[in-house]
Structure 1
Amino acid sequence: MVVNIHVSTPDSTLSTQITIDFPTNPDTINTQPVLYCQSNCSKNGFCVTNNATCSCFSKWTGSECSLPIQSISSIDPCTSSGGQVIIHGWFGDVHEDPSITIGNLPCSSPQFTSDTIVCQLGGGDGTKDVVITQNGVQVVFKNRFQYLNYNYPCLNDCTSPLHGTCNTTIGSCICKDSWTGFDCSLKSSNDTNGNNIPGSNSTVDTDTGETSISNENTNYLVGLIELVEIDVNGNEAKRTDLQSNWNATVKNSIYKFSKSYENLFNIVYTVEQIKEQLKEYTYAGIKLSIPKGGIKISVNITNYQYQSSLNTLQLRFLSTVKESDLNDCNNEESKSTTNIDPNLTLNYISIKKNKRIFSGRFINRIESDGRATFMSSEIVSSNSTSVIVGLNLPFCKTCYIDPDFSVLVSPDFKACNKSREKWIIPVAVVVPCVGVALIIIIIVLLYKNYKYSIKEKLDFKLRVFNKE
């Protein structure tokens, strides 16, 4: 059978001719009924017509795509005495039999919208799980809530009252003159007591994004290594390498690295060198400072395509000491220490070598979709020369993180006298030579003074011997 088709437009008429061949035997025609999904997949997915099943969009699940896949992007917590809690995220439009539990306490009188939950929580402290139940589905978010605490301890209690005082609001030390470091235990390069304290310098690799912080012959390296997506059971769902192929721009000691991963997400990584003097800044509502010679890092991740809205991200940093030449009077083996506690505002790592201490500070806050919220850190691996830290990010469209690093000098640092190296070998050679010369001169003088008396004694002994 031939079918003529004419299509008219305001400008022209198109014509075509199609030939359709039908089988001579009707029994050979393969007919398959078209199946339809109930409720049109709630308009939250599309129907697979050959088996009448729904394929749901990313935020939905269930046989009819009617159940939201819930996620939490940030939480406005209450203080340790209890109070109102606001949870931001995605919770859908239908809320049957909703309830919230934080830790072991119910968060009472919950009010749900598609993107917020408001409820009242009793007093407590520390970090807690959040459990959301609605529409017959229960979801557990591990370690996502932390009570506000305005009396945080400082690292090592700032070493001594003579070194510094503790700002208990955030658990940060305020160091006195001649002292610096996160616990005020390290000598400042501005030491006024006559000590020659070397300062630190940094260089940035524009390909890898890796930063080297050096203090005389001791070098430390820090940089991003990977971004890992982790599922609800704590298993790796996806891993992305972050160690190469950055697009870099440099302006006024600020290095900006960026790249897009297969249009799945974008990441911007910034390194600021603190060259002139101590820098003060505010991040997630917390005021902090970085000493001269340190670096301030920020990472912004946008539009990451999660495999599930229950998954989270872990951003990993590598910090390591680079082997160097012998460092005279300050030689020592490297040693790493960590102070990671989810219940503290500030977490630290350090690597010590040759009386220099590399320190990294990680704030347990992240700006998630424009709101400051709790974030935990953990040690992925460590040894005497390196530490890998994982920052656990929530489910977010925009994640902004802001750690910092510095290299400072230990209080038992010795200012090696480099000029001594120039004269130690000549002196070692000259002193023995002068000594030998002095001995020879003394022998000669003694011989001259006493040679006649010695000669007379010898002559007398010979005469006596001859008489006998």
Structure 2
Amino acid sequence: MQIYRHLSNLYLDIDALGTTDDKRVATKIYLDDCTFKDQRISSIGNSIPTATEHLSIAVTDTSNLLFIPFSSLKYLKIFILAYKNIEQYFPKIENDLSTSDETNFYNVIIDSNEIPSFLNMKIQNLELSLKIYNTIPSFDNLDTLESVDSFNFIFNGEIEYPNALGSPNNKIRVLDLKGLFSPPSQALTLPSDIEEFTISNSPSFNNKGLFPFASLSNILTKISIGNLGLTKYPMDLIPPTVKTIILYQNNIGSPLPDIEKFYKLSSFSLTNSKMIGSIPENYCKLDFLLLENNNLEGEWNQCFACYQEHYSDSSFSGNPKLIKNDCKPGSIVPYITYNQDNYILSLRGKNLGIDTPVIKENLSIKLETIVPQSHFEVFWDPRVYGVLPNIINVMLGNHEFILATSPLVPEILSITKSGNQFVFKGIQFSYDLDDIIIKISGVKCSNTYIDFNTLNCQFSATDQLKIGQDIPSTIQNIKLTTISMFTVNTAQDKTTIIKTCSSCNEGSGNGLCSSTTGKCICSQYYTGESCNLPNQFLTSASSALSSGGLVNLYGWFGSPNEGLTITIGSLNCQIHYYNTTFANCTIGAGSGTKSIKIIQNNQEWIGENMFHYTETTYRCPKDCSLNGVANGECNSSSGQCKCFIGWGGYDCNSKSTTGGSTSTSSGSSTPTPTKSPEIEIPESNTTINNGSSSISNQQTTYEISILSLIEYDVTDAIVITHNLTNKWISIGDTDKNIHKFNQNISETCRITYIIEDIKESRDYEFAGLQLTLEKDSIKITVNIENYPFTSVLNKLQLRLESIVGDNGANIENNQCNNKETSINKDLLDNNQLLNYITISKNEKVLYGRFINRVLSDHRQSFITTSLISNTTTTSANKESFIIGLNLPFFTESLSIDPDFSVLVSPSFKKCKSNDRAKWVLPVAIVVPCVAVATIIIISAIIYKKNRTTVLLVKNKFKLRALPKKE
């Protein structure tokens, strides 16, 4: 191949460059300021040889080249015609080609003062530099570009946009316009087949700041707009298939445009346009980004900061308020999926970078970019690369990640607590904060950082987190159904190395492994080293006659039941049937209250005082008599007195203020009581406020409240005390005589407290007993629901406090009744259905009756009553007494249903009088313990509408004195 370079100032004979069929000619010829014979390149009808591919001619004022017919050039691949310092002399370019002429130019570059026709010319790249001096040429030939693929149009001076360019004849694929266009008077048209369009350096070429063209080709893949004086970029005209956008040197002054719709866009440059605001996240997907010399602010997006080897400082230079920052932990979020059907390994996530990831286990594996920064794929053929391992190491830029190829169950190795923040170290976590859920005592911990080996999370100040050494917790990868259980030390700020157990039957819910000790923590229903044995217990037991009989036992027996035996007291109870929650057996004869012992699987459980023999007959208190005189009849089936008309109280020693019987059932006619001198009974006032009650009579006041609920373990040691005082919340009245309060002592346990003012006497059944509510008495219901026992071996005690003292009232005519406080507990007998206690001061008596029976989980069960303390002097010089109701283990609920009434018994005397008659004002408390029980003592209620405090006022009664003793 011969190349003639820079042949200058030569005189060239006609056809000196060869004729059409010459073979021994130069393939490339460069002519500079040469002279041509006949002022032509070749003779008429002749052409540059087919062997010559490249001809470059530079002419000056001294050149004599006048004619350039395209026919003489038709075999060239490249033709360049350049002018040096010429203003007047331009050779005539003539298109004399016919349709039969075949041309195939790669590059044609022409400097000219006119626009020749390009018909019948197939040109890959055409550059026309139009020299405008005195006369503006015709632009008509710009509609002859039907076989031009790429057209670069450069001109000097200012012209109107040539509409001929938009001719449908033109099939231009690439159009580049450089020069000054006049402001358009209407929307302009571009060739419809343009794939790449560039226009620049025409600052007035806009329609009031808007893009001058009405539309853009819908197959456009690249657009470059620079220095058009725009105030808004035509993002709405650019088709979504565009791949490259270059925008620069326009006075925009707005936030960066949204590029979300441009799903094929890979290169984006927007410079020198006074853009403001921050960089949108969807700019991360771009392979090339240039935003220099704007007014952007904020920080580098993490997709840029984490891959600074790809994004140079110049990408964002000239933005003084845009801060370059570092890659923050947790910013890169990769994960892998593998389709075993088509062997496609997909790497997905966030901020994965632009460059192709590298799998360190096999560097030859090349992942294909599907979506930059978020999706890469590779065909992993096990026959070529081997079986895909569970874990692989992937390089994303300069960052290395351990990735699971399928979701794995997370495993915790250590836990560090610091305040409300926790750090979990382990394996097989994730990089996505939402993948792993950790709950401590059921409360979700908010993830703040995660990678394959570390998870940080924290609780808010409002989260109610249980405190303890082994608080039950769970961890789960949400892509799996497996939930792993462990325990957390929430009591101390320290690091705990996780210890494991062989098995705690977690899947069956029997227990979980203590991360602190490596030993199983069994649920209340199971025991044993692996929580495989049932932890039996009872919630209720039926009674039997003293002659013996069938006993029904409700609770938990579970399975297996190896060596099951049931002992009541000292007697073996012959078992007939049992399942996981029920058993029955036959007990021999006996009496009183007994404990129940259950043995199975070499495990022993004892329910203290849980069984009661039902006596054929029960004795009544004081035989219902006063001073040897019968004031009522004894109902020996229950041990309750049925008082004669005019008498009342548990022993019929009190005068009934209502004139009616306090017995629990109606009876035949009764003798008329002995008449006595009338004595005016002092008035009693009862106030109910915020769940507490006070009864005042003259200078004496009794205050009664529910003090606390205490959980005891099997050794009678206190596990936890729940203070219930002054915590009741009013929940509204169902009617004017019913008042409700409640309080929560845990997330699940609620205590409800109801007070009802009984306006008319009525009978009701409670725990298998027939009872009567006296007119003007008070009925109280207390329910305990879902108490969270720490062990099935534990029990509860509901404590009631009564405080008695002087209220400061100056009762001058009652000083003769002043007496110290005394308490009588002689009738607290756990072998009886009914227990009684009496508290006296200043001849005012508060006495209560307790039924040793409850409904545990809606079934009857036996309980006992205890006097916790005698006479304790308070800071206000008052005396306090505490009574406890001993309640069994239960799973759902317990409740009690006491009632109170005002009665009179012979103790009170009329001062400053010779009348020796004595009467006492007692407040009788009947406490039928139905479901969870509590006892509250009140005299009578006067309900005042629309007030929280309910005032109970008893009317004055005139009573007759008993005959004087001889």
1:342 pairs with one of 830, 852, 855: 830
Cα distance in 2 for residues equivalent to 1:330 and 1:48: 64
Shift of 1:110: 4.6
In the alignment, which residue of structure 2 is the partner of 1:178? 646
Structure 2 SS opposite 1:170: coil
Map 1:65-464 → 2, pairs under 5 A: 65-160=531-626, 162-190=630-658, 195-198=678-681, 201-207=684-690, 209-248=691-730, 249-250=732-733, 251-274=735-758, 276-324=759-807, 325=809, 326=811, 327-338=814-825, 339-383=827-871, 385-396=879-890, 397-415=892-910
Shift of 1:367: 1.0
In the alignment, which residue of structure 1 is the partner of 2:377? none
Aligned AA for 1:167? N
Aligned AA for 2:623? D
CA deviation profile, 1:379-408 (whole Å, cap 9, x unmatched): 101229542110011111201112334443
Shift of 1:270: 1.7
Shift of 1:129: 1.4
2:400 pairs with one of 11, 15, 21: 21
Aligned AA for 1:143? N
Structure 2 SS opposite 1:157: helix
Change (3 A) 1:188 1:265: same
Cα distance in 1 for residues equivalent to 2:499 and 2:755: 58
Aligned AA for 1:88? Y
Contact residue 500 and residue 519 of structure 2 kept, 8 A: no
Moved more, 240-249 or 322-331: 322-331
Structure 2 SS opposite 1:383: strand
**RMSD over aligned Cα atoms:** 3.2
For normalisation by structure 2, the TM-score amounts to 0.39
Shift of 1:48: 6.1
Contact residue 533 and residue 559 of structure 2 kept, 8 A: no
Aligned-residue sequence identity (percent) comes to: 37
CA deviation profile, 1:78-124 (whole Å, cap 9, x unmatched): 11111111110111121111111111110113532111111111110
Change (3 A) 1:272 1:199: farther
Change (3 A) 1:322 1:272: farther
In the alignment, which residue of structure 2 is the partner of 1:464? none
Aligned AA for 2:737? S
Structure 1 SS opposite 2:695: strand
Map 1:38-57 → 2, pairs under 5 A: 38=503, 40-41=505-506, 43=508, 44-47=510-513, 53-57=519-523
Cα distance in 1 for residues equivalent to 2:498 and 2:692: 60
In the alignment, which residue of structure 1 is the partner of 2:931? none
Structure 1 SS opposite 2:753: strand
In the alignment, which residue of structure 1 is the partner of 2:502? 37
Change (3 A) 1:166 1:130: same
Change (3 A) 1:51 1:344: closer
Aligned AA for 1:265? C
Change (3 A) 1:406 1:319: farther
For normalisation by structure 1, the TM-score amounts to 0.78
Cα distance in 1 for residues equivalent to 2:907 and 2:519: 71
Cα distance in 1 for residues equivalent to 2:641 and 2:499: 71
Contact residue 336 and residue 386 of structure 1 kept, 8 A: no
Shift of 1:296: 2.4
CA deviation profile, 1:138-159 (whole Å, cap 9, x unmatched): 1222211111123111111112
Contact residue 70 and residue 310 of structure 1 kept, 8 A: no
Cα distance in 1 for residues equivalent to 2:507 and 2:816: 74
Change (3 A) 1:112 1:383: same
Contact residue 284 and residue 366 of structure 1 kept, 8 A: yes
Structure 1 SS opposite 2:400: coil
Cα distance in 1 for residues equivalent to 2:520 and 2:823: 53
In the alignment, which residue of structure 1 is the partner of 2:49? none
Structure 2 SS opposite 1:340: coil
Higher CA-based Rg: 2
Moved more, 97-106 or 258-267: 258-267
Cα distance in 2 for residues equivalent to 1:179 and 1:387: 28
Aligned AA for 1:181? G
Change (3 A) 1:35 1:416: closer
Aligned AA for 2:856? S
Change (3 A) 1:215 1:4: closer
Structure 1 SS opposite 2:623: helix
Change (3 A) 1:200 1:344: farther
Cα distance in 1 for residues equivalent to 2:893 and 2:610: 17
Cα distance in 2 for residues equivalent to 1:33 and 1:393: 39
Structure 2, gaps ≥5 residues long: 1-331, 339-346, 353-395, 403-425, 428-496, 660-674, 873-878, 914-966
Aligned AA for 2:350? T
Change (3 A) 1:159 1:320: farther
Cα distance in 1 for residues equivalent to 2:537 and 2:794: 9
Shift of 1:285: 1.7
Change (3 A) 1:374 1:411: same
Structure 1 SS opposite 2:830: coil
Contact residue 795 and residue 887 of structure 2 kept, 8 A: yes
Cα distance in 1 for residues equivalent to 2:637 and 2:611: 19
Contact residue 743 and residue 752 of structure 2 kept, 8 A: yes
Shift of 1:349: 1.3
Moved more, 41-50 or 152-161: 41-50
Aligned residues: 406
Contact residue 504 and residue 520 of structure 2 kept, 8 A: no
Cα distance in 2 for residues equivalent to 1:315 and 1:260: 15
Structure 2 SS opposite 1:21: strand
Moved more, 58-67 or 338-347: 58-67
Cα distance in 2 for residues equivalent to 1:35 and 1:381: 47
Shift of 1:417: 8.0
Cα distance in 2 for residues equivalent to 1:289 and 1:137: 44
Shift of 1:46: 3.5
Shift of 1:38: 4.2
